[in-house]
Structure 1
């Protein structure tokens, strides 16, 4: 005989309340938006929290500044994120008691009452690899030599770069807006050269793209830190224990704008570098495969 108990139980179940569900989602988004505001204000008020934001932005360079703030606030040591289903599909399980990390994911576009088109957002719950049963990260870090990194950094340079022996003392790289050129001290070692070029190229992008920030020098300095950390270069010389005076008393909206500018410039520069590095890596892999076939 066919068992219809399940049908009877389902028929007695409470009907789906769309309005209640929508209200829950609105409240969920409200909590996350407030978390972003709080994290942004904290980031511009504390060198430690600001550096944590930069670390996350370097690790997850494609993520928005808002999501970087959310990660830095909820799981500052995160290295690899995926939702429950994605981890499960790789045979990895979430540890018991692990708290999900809330991010914002773009949804559908809609037209506002004033005719502007906007994007709706929904809360997406993800977990870091440290919250799973995975024994190690699935991603493999690729290390590039310093000469290649320098070539990648200047390949899409936004202005001319010249060698000069007429730079101020202890200055290895300098952008001169009047000449629209970056001057480099001859004989500068690779790592300080990369740091200096990254910082000065960031200044050029800020100027050319007419991006607003309260302290362009500090913004460029922060971008240089992101690029150095992204490319596994030493960050020991960077200091964030003294934040710019302009950051004092900054509200959430202004803080988000400052952090968003850092993300925008670093994202452009990382993208420019990746085009060179990806091409190099593909060619190297082809050579290695060809050599194996010849053996």
Structure 2
């Protein structure tokens, strides 16, 4: 085996070990909030690469390859900086020998009665180790200012609440709730109920949490999770979305302590499955929220909704 091939395989094995250790660590230590917070910053990366970035550089905020920093941001990686190792897909073509079949999927035989073979060129995908660098490891031109979704938390509260109600797949109401629950999702009634009169941050977090239950299909025929797992998923989605919104929406006061107890007997694939689902759901809610919130800010969405309601009323007459 060539030395370069061996070195590549050793690196891939190292990556696999990092992934398994990182996944287990996410759920079995107090670092869960840190991991989720870091991974929420990289929606374009796979969950595997998010875990690798978070495990090697929890403070990362913007990562790019060496050349991309130069070509797109006019920044250079500082001397003696070590890259953050991730997995990069690689496509390649190769000639392979395949059996020949006719249009009816029957083997084509040669004069000796053996099935014919042919050489075809096929495209394959493999993976290789690659390295990215965080912005704190670079120097150069200032980065473009990224506007946050909410400009002022107090003034933006009503807009954010309205946008969340609009993207909810089910009806939302604010009511007095008996007991200690801040909200709940009723699959049977297809509605979300949020405790009225709560502080703004708690109201927003609870809304996202309950929308998370709906988007995760909890309570449906597809639901295969126990109660603890469902609550962890929904609260993780709420924390993730709040992190992506930013601007002071810190929901980290919620305790993730019971996660260790839930995960201790689970295997890495089981834990990974939940992280994949959490990321996918949080990304989906965030995209919807960003689109609708921009319309709410300009009143477009509210006007569209009013027009739809007027049309419905006309048809019902």
Q: Which of the five TM-score ranges fits, normalised by the shorter chain? A: 0.7 to 0.9
Task: Quote how far apart the aligned CAs of 1:45 are.
Answer: 0.8
The DSSP-based 3-state class of the residue aligned with 2:75 is coil
Q: Does 1:220 align with 2:230?
A: no
Q: Residue 210 of structure 1: which of 211, 222, 229 is its match?
A: 222
Post-superposition Cα deviations, 1:92-126, rounded to whole Å, max 9, x if no partner, equal 1111111101122334399xxxxxx9853332211
d(CA) in 2 for partners of 1:200, 1:72: 27
Structure 1 gaps, min length 5? 1-17, 111-116, 285-295
More divergent stretch after superposition (143-152 vs 208-217): 208-217
1:263 and 1:226 map into 2 onto residues whose CA distance is: 8
Conservation of the 8 A alpha-carbon contact between 1:65 and 1:259: yes
- Equivalents in 2 of 1:64, 1:266: separation in Å? 13
TM-score by length of 1: 0.77
- CA–CA separation in structure 1 for the residues paired with 2:299 and 2:130: 37
How many pairs align?
260
Mapped contact 1:153–1:273 kept (Cα < 8 A)? yes
1:47 partner SS: coil
CA contact (8 A) 2:29 2:260 kept: no
**Correspondence for 1:248:** 264
Aligned to 1:257: 273
- Residues 59-208 of structure 1 aligned to structure 2 (within 5 Å): 59-89=41-71, 90-108=73-91, 120-134=126-140, 137-144=143-150, 145-165=156-176, 167-207=177-217
RMSD: 3.0
Aligned to 1:288: none
Contact residue 153 and residue 272 of structure 1 kept, 8 A: no
CA distance in structure 2 between the aligned counterparts of 1:278 and 1:109, rounded to whole angstroms: 42
- SS in structure 1 of the partner of residue 192 of structure 2: strand
Q: Secondary structure at the match of 2:189?
A: coil
**Aligned residue number for residue 304 of structure 2:** none
**Alpha-carbon deviations, 1:154-178, whole Å to 9, x = none?**
322121212333x123433211222
CA shift, 1:76, in A, is: 0.3
Between Structure 1 and Structure 2, the one with more strand by share is: 2
Gaps of at least 5 residues in structure 2 are: 94-122, 151-155, 301-317
Q: Distance in 2 between matches of 1:30 and 1:55?
A: 27
> What is the TM-score when the length of structure 2 is the normalising length?
0.72
Q: Could you list the per-position Cα deviations for residues 17-46 of structure 1 after superposition, in whole angstroms to 9, with x for gaps in the alignment?
A: x95544433332222122111100111111
Alignment CA distance shift 1:241-1:184 (3 Å): closer
- Offset, 1:52: 1.9
Distance 2:298 2:132 in 1: 31
User: Which sits farther off after the overlay, 216-225 or 230-239?
Assistant: 230-239
